[in-house]
């Protein structure tokens, strides 16, 4: 996984039972490793970001993140982070950027000049096998407030 030059595809998802409420996050590589975890009081957006932070922290080399979160994907596709940094971590309305405590470590991982990280959006609940798998893992983690991990993710 993640050998030099070989891009690893990883699916990520976050879930929250209530918003805020008990949260869960998950990531999985097709036919590869996976992990999930929980937070007793979170939001869906925080769990979406956490899933990507955990995935990028666990996977070496080039990564293609597939997420059903427009919040996460658009941050990179539309380069929201550039404006946030330029404005001193204020959004376009002049308010503090929500979830900065998670965005900062994500940006450090995703913008690492030593590896390529790219993002693409996948429609949730649309029959994409791996998106459905990480959704299930995230919901299970939120419900049980306990994560799982393994070496081989089977959809």
CA atoms of 44 and 21, how far apart (whole Å): 9
Nearest Cα to 19, choosing from 38, 46, 1, 37?
A: 46
Check residue 107 and give left, alpha or beta (phi > 0: left; psi -120 to 50: alpha): alpha
Task: List residues with catalytic annotation.
Answer: 13-14, 48, 68, 125, 135
Nearest Cα to 119, choosing from 75, 151, 82?
A: 75
Which CATH fold would you assign to the domain 8-148?
Nucleotidyltransferase; domain 5 (3.30.420)
Q: Which two tokens mark 143?
A: 């419900």
Per-residue pLDDT at 154: 57
Q: Which two tokens mark 6?
A: 């070989």
Per-residue pLDDT at 29: 97
Per-residue pLDDT at 19: 86
| 90 in Cβ contact with 100 (< 8 Å) | no
Low-confidence ranges of the chain (pLDDT < 70): 1-4, 153-155
């Amino acid at each position: 996984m993640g050998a030099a030059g070989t891009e690893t595809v990883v699916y990520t998802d976050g879930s929250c039972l209530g918003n805020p409420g008990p949260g869960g996050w998950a990531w999985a590589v097709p036919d590869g490793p996976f992990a999930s975890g929980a937070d007793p009081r979170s939001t869906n957006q925080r769990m979406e970001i956490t899933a990507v932070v955990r995935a990028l922290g666990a996977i070496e080399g080039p990564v293609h993140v597939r997420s059903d979160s427009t919040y996460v994907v658009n941050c990179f596709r539309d380069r929201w982070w550039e404006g946030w940094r330029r404005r001193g971590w204020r959004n376009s309305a002049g308010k503090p950027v929500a979830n900065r405590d998670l965005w900062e470590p994500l940006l450090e991982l995703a913008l690492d000049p030593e590896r390529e990280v790219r993002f693409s959006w996948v429609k949730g609940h649309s029959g994409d096998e791996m998106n459905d798998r990480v959704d299930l893992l995230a919901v299970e983690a939120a419900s049980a407030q306990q994560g799982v991990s393994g070496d081989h993710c089977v959809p």
